[in-house]
Amino acid sequence: MHFTRPGNRHVFDVNLIDFADRVIAASHQLPVLVDFWADWCAPCRVIAPNLEKAVEERNGEVKLAKLEVDEGENMKLAGRYNVRGFPTIMMFRDGEPVAHFSSARPLHFIREFIDEHAA
């Protein structure tokens, strides 16, 4: 299932193959949120619109990469970053994860998370 809002150029799908370029390298230019999600995960569907809205509101100051952990070998990335539950949202800056949270959260929480960790 694909939760990315059509027309939002700040939200994109990512996988094991392009993660290094689209997340790690890109995070040297601006913060990148990674949404580790799964198709079977109800909280993942709940948080997706709030994540996308919060990123869209930043108008290019932060990007959102959506990683479906059950596709291909994407679970290797979840293991690399010690993701234990879904959804897990991780902020990358300067090539490194700097903060994360798990489970569905309201829009105001996501906005505050981005404000605190994107600077």
- Residue 38's identity, in one-letter code, is A
Active site annotation includes 98: no
**Candidates 23, 32, 38, 44; catalytic one:** 44
- Alpha carbon distance 45, 114 (integer Å): 20
**Candidates 26, 38, 41, 48; catalytic one:** 41
Whose CA is closest to 65, among 43, 44, 30, 36? 36
Active site annotation includes 89: no
List active site positions.
41, 44
